Structure 1
Amino acid sequence: MAAAIVVGLSAPLALPSAAMAQNAPQPDEETFFGASTSPSGPDLDLLERRVRQRERALASISRQAARYAVVKAEEVSRLAALGYTGALTDLTHVLPLAGYYLSAGFGQAGPHWESGHTGQDFAAPLGTTIVAVGDAVVTSVGDAGAYGLRTVLTLEDGTEIWYCHQLVALVAPGDKVPVGQPIGGLGTSGNSTGAHLHLEVRPPGAGPVDPIPWLQALDLTP
């Protein structure tokens, strides 16, 4: 038995003949390294369409980003003219216009008013843009007699802001306006002796208060 085992281990390995090796299928490059992943035919057309769609989508996003940047740059510039240079995310209130000087003050008496003056006048060139002093809803827009063309905004706390003697209004009742949004153009309509904004501040359930200390309480310096 031992001899048989030795003989079995010493037997030569059977190798394929040269003819068998020649006739055996030879792996090509794709078989050896894996199947090719290069698309062709319909697959290539589909890939090209998807690439073009992706390029168009990226171009659209780029154009939207450019327009957004322009809008934000204009907003920053407008707010800087109104005296605000902080971050847009921190903005809560702004002055109602830029490039003005204060004229008739609150409580002032004279022939132009039936009683004491109920607001603060901001004199500026005709057509000067006036803006929302805070986030608000437009309550009314229209002719208000001696007040001329008037827009009334109601702030989030219920305070009414009256913009009087306007040349033109840019908003309509029911509109929601964010702080700093243009709402009209300064004018001289109604009982007015020159181009100016008559600004009135009316807290909820109360009559008009002096706009100057009200603005100062918001860290605004008229």
Structure 2
Amino acid sequence: MAFTRATGKHRARSSMSRRGVGAAGAATLTATGVIGTLAASPALAADANAEAAAQTGLAHAIALGDTLPGVIEDQAEAQRHAADRVARIKAEAVAKAQAARMAEARAKEIRAERERAARAAERERLNTFQPPIAGSAVTTGYRAGGSLWSSGSHSGVDFRAATGTSVVAVGAATVVEAGWGGSYGNNIVLRMSDGTYTQYGHLSSVAVSVGQSVAAGERIGLSGATGNATGPHLHFEARGGQEYGTDMDPVGYLRAHGVTV
């Protein structure tokens, strides 16, 4: 039994129609290229996006690789500058400390020099002696005999001096007696810096008081004729102690201290 093909939508395409469709698809592929194909295929589009991302990351890595040595060099340079600054600060601190130590050492030297100079000046002051009356001379010597003295001899020396002549301390001393002294009249006794004593008798007036410190050449009174005296003069004694009877040669004493008598 023979069958005949029904008409309608179920008819197969003709070869001409198939050829037309193929030509059209080829034309579309040609016109749109790979992009059209990728757009038509989700899988291919994802692959393309991944490739594009990979290409972008590579470009970023290449750019970073180009700038990284410069960044590292800048950081190294900044670190060198910081290290140099720290080194300068430390060096300045060391220099300041050294300068301070040198200044302190110099200050100590200066103080020591001043103290030595002061001590030397004090020694010179203490060791400087002068005659009790300037420009005078001895009229009666030590140990001269006669009835004028209760002990039978002169326990000091007499310097020529008119009443009212200035009498000075022969050296730096402390006043241990000042006032009336019996046969000595108005008298002064000084304890000298070396521990010896000097006495000044027959004064018309006394200008110091007990406990007072006096310097060499400082006026302590005025000459006169008070006490057991035959006329105005200065009676001067040098003693080993404050008491009467400890006398020593006054001329030898003054000469031992550099005084020309």
TM-score interval for Structure 1 and Structure 2 normalised by the shorter chain:
0.5 to 0.7
> Which one-letter code corresponds to 1:153 in the other structure?
L
Q: 1:156 maps to which residue? A: 193
Q: 1:211 maps to which residue? A: 250
Deviation digits for residues 140-163 of structure 1 (CA, Å, limit 9, x no counterpart): 111111111010110112211100
Q: 1:104 maps to which residue? A: 140
When normalised by structure 1's length, the TM-score is: 0.58
Q: 2:41 maps to which residue? A: none
Is the radius of gyration larger for structure 1 or structure 2?
2
Q: 1:170 maps to which residue? A: 207
Select the structure that is richer in helix.
2
Q: Which of 193, 206, 209 in structure 1 is aligned with 2:230?
A: 193
Q: 1:126 maps to which residue? A: 163
Give matches, 1:1-222, under 5 Å. 90-91=124-125, 92-114=128-150, 115-204=152-241, 207-222=246-261
Deviation at 1:125, TM superposition (A): 1.3
Contact (CA 8 Å) 1:169, 1:184: kept in 2 or not? yes
- Structure 1 CA distance, aligned partners of 2:197 and 2:181? 15
Deviation digits for residues 185-208 of structure 1 (CA, Å, limit 9, x no counterpart): 011000101111100100248710
Contact (CA 8 Å) 1:99, 1:124: kept in 2 or not? no
User: Could you tell which deviates more after superposition, 91-100 or 164-173?
Assistant: 91-100
Counterpart of 1:118 in 2: which secondary structure?
Answer: coil
Structure 1 residue ranges (4+ consecutive) displaced by more than 2 angstroms after TM superposition: 87-91
- Structure 1 CA distance, aligned partners of 2:162 and 2:122? 27
When normalised by structure 2's length, the TM-score is: 0.49
Deviation at 1:101, TM superposition (A): 2.5
> Which one-letter code corresponds to 2:169 in the other structure?
A
- CA, structure 1 residues 178+188, in 2 after alignment: closer, same or farther (shift >3 Å)? same
- Structure 1 CA distance, aligned partners of 2:124 and 2:212? 23
Deviation at 1:99, TM superposition (A): 3.2
- Structure 2 CA distance, aligned partners of 1:123 and 1:98? 10
Percent identity over the alignment? 39
> Which one-letter code corresponds to 1:217 in the other structure?
A
- CA, structure 1 residues 210+89, in 2 after alignment: closer, same or farther (shift >3 Å)? closer
Counterpart of 1:214 in 2: which secondary structure?
Answer: helix
Task: Name stretches of at least 5 consecutive residues in structure 2 with no aligned partner.
Answer: 1-120
Q: How many residues align?
A: 136
User: Could you tell which deviates more after superposition, 198-207 or 123-132?
Assistant: 198-207
Counterpart of 1:212 in 2: which secondary structure?
Answer: helix
